[in-house]
Chains A and B, each alone.
Chain A
Amino acid sequence: GESVGLHLPTLSVQEGDNSIINCAYSNSASDYFIWYKQESGKGPQFIIDIRSNMDKRQGQRVTVLLNKTVKHLSLQIAATQPGDSAVYFCAENTNTGFQKLVFGTGTRLLVSP
């Protein structure tokens, strides 16, 4: 399949482990954040989002944590499965102008059976 990034930071975990993927965002005025998953050769897929008035949000097997003090976002995946192997990247709404999303470059998650 196609590689979306040849020099991405990589997190390697064993099946069943919990994974934590981190993202440092750029703008203290950003008020909305999204995590996307991109499998090889496919378009990004929405996973979970969070608004700046929250510091934690949970989905199915995923949790997003937001620390506005240090402008840090994390995605926690519980009981990681081989199908979770993908590139994960965060996006922030910088709340300026048209309020475009700004995307991070991503982290590659590799899950070994």
Chain B
Amino acid sequence: DVKVTQSSRYLVKRTGEKVFLECVQDMDHENMFWYRQDPGLGLRLIYFSYDVKMKEKGDIPEGYSVSREKKERFSLILESASTNQTSMYLCASSLRTGGEKQFFGPGTRLTVL
């Protein structure tokens, strides 16, 4: 089975802090994704990556950046955390491009005070 792990289940940060969320997958998947999940809004795509060092903006990239230095690892960075970035963050991976099913990590519940 695919395993996607995220570095923290719960995180509390202060406004203005730089925040790193880490995601690792163990199945040699090409694609990795970062979503945020908010009540009533469903999953919204922040950034995705289809290869090492490649990244593409999703639907809501503002206030975020990403890094993919190794195939198995995809990091989400909040340059200066704000209270409206309080959310559940979900990482996912899929084998290759083109509408493949995505496998999700357990999520990180981030609270920005």
Decide whether A and B are members of one complex: yes
Residues of A within 8 A of B (CB): 2-8, 31-32, 34, 36, 41-46, 49, 89, 91, 93, 95, 98-101, 103-106
* Stretch binding the partner chain, chosen from B12-20, B70-78, B98-106: B98-106
Q: Which residues of A have CB within 8 Å of B105?
A: 43
CB within 8 Å: A-B pair count = 60
In angstroms, how far is the closest chain B Cβ from the Cβ of A104? 6
* Complex Cα spacing A4 to B103, Å: 18
In angstroms, how far is the closest chain B Cβ from the Cβ of A79? 24
Contact in complex: B48, A45 (CB < 8 Å): no
Q: Given known contacts A4-B88, A31-B99, A98-B50, is B42 in contact with A103 (CB within 8 Å)?
A: yes
Q: Which residues of A have CB within 8 Å of B48?
A: 98, 100
A-B residue pairs, 4 tightest by C-beta: A93-B99, A43-B104, A103-B43, A105-B42
Q: Which residues of B have CB within 8 Å of A8?
A: 40
Q: Given known contacts A49-B101, A98-B50, A98-B97, is B106 in contact with A4 (CB within 8 Å)?
A: no
Contact in complex: B107, A6 (CB < 8 Å): no
10 inter-chain pairs at a CB distance below 8 angstroms, sorted by A residue, are: A4-B39, A31-B99, A43-B90, A46-B101, A98-B48, A98-B97, A99-B97, A103-B42, A103-B43, A105-B40
Q: Which residues of B have CB within 8 Å of A45?
A: 104
